[in-house]
Chains A and B, each alone.
Chain A
Amino acid sequence: MVKSSLVRQALVLAALAFVPGLVQAIYFGDKVSWRSPVPASEMVTVTQARAWGENAIWVDARPDNEFARDHVPGALPLNEDRWNELLAQFLAAWSPEKKVVIYCGSEGCNASREVARRLRKEAQLPNVFVLEGGWEEWLKTNR
């Protein structure tokens, strides 16, 4: 088996895969942001969220022990570990005119994005936002 033949075959396959990948990327152009995992329209800063006042319902997507230690005043816990149980509690407090602001530990954590995705997809809720910078940003702004 000649090495150059193996490399040539691999390159051909790698090149062929570009075609459907590119077509799909174009097709999905408006469904995914290439700059951020969460589209800008679904992100909110601490300042913006606080300006919503009573119209905002804060959701803490961190594990239970972190929520118990400290959280945004009035925030409701909603994490994937106890999704069904906490979702019922959250929905009891939610109303259609409220804006949902979800946060987790920091900018890099994924929990808030995942909770936001599930609320939009499974609970079909509108006005669901992810807090930019998460709990760390809240602490910085409120010290």
Chain B
Amino acid sequence: MAQSSTISYQLLANRQFVWRIVDFIVGGIFIYAGTIKVIDPVQFAIDIDNYKILPWTISVGLAFYLPWLEILCGLALILRRLYFGGLSILTALVAVFLVATIAAKVRGLDITCGCFGHASKSLSFAGHLALDFALLAALIVLWSKAPVRNHAANEL
């Protein structure tokens, strides 16, 4: 009995370790994506403006704000502080971005930039969609696998 509970505990610990690695990978991706956009906010403003959804002034404001939000949320995933807040914001951002990208394509706009700003310029539309859906899937999986009773993740 004691041995089986030890084995169960070990399996659980291994699984949690795997999900922590996923936290690091997903968090790291968003930190990288945010950093690229922080370096050239003017280009990111142009990329947002290309979607022809928002006025230019709002595009500029978002270009200065969103990359830092991505970086902080990525850190939240890695450091397990404000974890669920970060996870919810990132999930919302990716979902909104996916809808905007598909809408732009339907409207015939040539959107060549994705999550990584101009750095992902060489990716095709299908490539962008695949990457975005993969990120969304990873975030949804983290939602389902995150330890709800983990006090560190829930604390401010």
Contacts and interface: CB of A to CB of B under 8 A. Distances in A.
Interface of A: 1-2, 5-14, 16-18, 20-22, 24-25, 28, 31-32, 34-37, 108, 110, 113
Interface of B: 38, 41-42, 45-46, 49-50, 52, 56-57, 60-61, 64-65, 67-69, 72-73, 76, 82-86, 88-89, 148, 154, 156
Contacts of A24: 38, 41, 64, 68
Contacts of A36: 56
B85 A32 contact: no
Contact of A37 (B38, B49, B83): B49
B77 to A, nearest CB: 11
Contacts of A35: 56-57
> Chain A binding site: helix, strand, loop or mixed by DSSP?
helix
Contacts of B76: 9, 13
Contacts, number: 80
A18 B65 contact: yes
Nearest to B112: A80
Nearest to B46: A37
A32 B52 contact: no
Given A9-B156, A16-B72, A32 B89 contact: no
Given A21-B65, A36-B56, A6 B88 contact: yes
A25 B85 contact: no
